[in-house]
């Protein structure tokens, strides 16, 4: 049997329509543009603020979205949801140019294979960053911030979870000295255009510069 070009076009046209009564409504198969942002899908306000701050600290712009936003002409390049059920499997399969991530401690039965599932655990931030950086690229690193050996020792203890008093006791220094080290180090990051708002962000900066290696 000979298949002509018009036959093929007819088959394609029929494959991309849904019958609705007497009329067939065409389905758009064109992928929307991606805008280089991270979409936070159906995330609660407090959680959204924390995630936006963290993503911003590693060089990515994030915005809160709802499911309807994924049907717009321009969509986020990466979509993160805390509830796997918030991600429509059909949408995830269709938007092949968007990376979907579910960070959850809930059952993931029925989650689309197009969704990267990350267990909500202490390693989740590193795993999420690896996926996001893989899509959007990591922030270009400037010159590494200089730290003295003493600053490195004290700040590593502090940013890895110790309180000011415990850090001071471990290194046999005054609590005021711990705070002075923190202020000096964070000031250098600020001057380099890499602001640090808290000890968690300082940890991210020190890991990024290679001063701390997380196992």
- The pLDDT assigned to 27 comes to 43
Measured in whole angstroms, how far is the alpha carbon of residue 184 from the centre of its chain?
29
pLDDT (tens digit, 9 = 90+) per residue, 161-188?
A: 999 999 999 999 999 999 999 999 999 9
- State how far the alpha carbon of 114 is from the alpha carbons of 95, 117, 118, 132, 156, in Å: 9, 9, 13, 15, 38
Give the pLDDT of residue 32. Answer: 92
Question: Which fold would CATH assign to domain 33-136?
Answer: Rossmann fold (3.40.50)
Angle at 50 between CA 165 and CA 63, to 5 degrees: 160
What are the phi and psi torsion angles at 82 (to 5°)?
Answer: -90, -20
Q: What is the pLDDT of residue 169?
A: 97
Query: CA-to-CA distance for 23 and 214, rounded, in angstroms?
Result: 59
- Tell me the C-alpha to C-alpha distance, in Å, between residue 92 and each of 8, 81, 84, 171, 206: 27, 12, 11, 51, 35
Strand partners, 65: 41
Q: Model confidence at 143, in pLDDT bands (50, 70, 90)?
A: low
Percentage of residues in the chain with pLDDT exceeding 70? 83
Assess whether pLDDT exceeds 50 at residue 25. no
Q: What is the DSSP string of 170-200?
A: HHT--HHHHHHHHHHHHHHHHHTT----SHH
Average pLDDT over residues 24-41: 77
CATH topology of domain 149-208: Arc Repressor Mutant, subunit A (1.10.10)
pLDDT in the model for residue 7? 44
Give the start-to-end residue ranges of the domains of the chain: 33-136, 149-208
d(CA 165, CA 31): 55
């Amino acid at each position: 049997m000979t298949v002509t070009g018009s036959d093929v076009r007819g088959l394609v046209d029929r494959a991309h329509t849904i019958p609705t009564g007497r009329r067939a409504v065409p389905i758009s198969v064109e992928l929307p543009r991606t805008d280089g942002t991270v979409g936070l899908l159906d995330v609660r306000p407090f959680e959204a603020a924390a995630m936006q701050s963290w993503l911003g600290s590693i060089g990515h712009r994030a915005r809160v979205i709802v499911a309807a936003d994924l049907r717009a002409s321009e969509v986020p390049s990466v979509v993160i949801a805390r509830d796997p059920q918030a991600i429509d499997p059909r949408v995830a399969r269709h938007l092949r140019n968007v990376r979907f991530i579910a960070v959850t401690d809930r059952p993931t039965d029925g989650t689309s294979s197009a969704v990267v599932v990350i267990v909500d655990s202490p390693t989740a931030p590193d795993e999420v960053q690896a996926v996001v950086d893989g899509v959007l690229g990591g922030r270009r690193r400037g010159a590494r911030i200089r730290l003295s050996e003493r600053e490195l020792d004290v700040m590593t203890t502090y940013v890895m979870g110790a309180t000011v008093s415990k850090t001071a006791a471990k290194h046999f220094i005054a609590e005021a000295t711990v705070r002075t080290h923190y202020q000096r180090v964070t000031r250098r990051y600020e001057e380099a255009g890499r602001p640090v708002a808290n000890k968690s962000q300082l940890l991210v900066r020190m890991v990024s510069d290679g001063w701390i290696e997380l196992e």
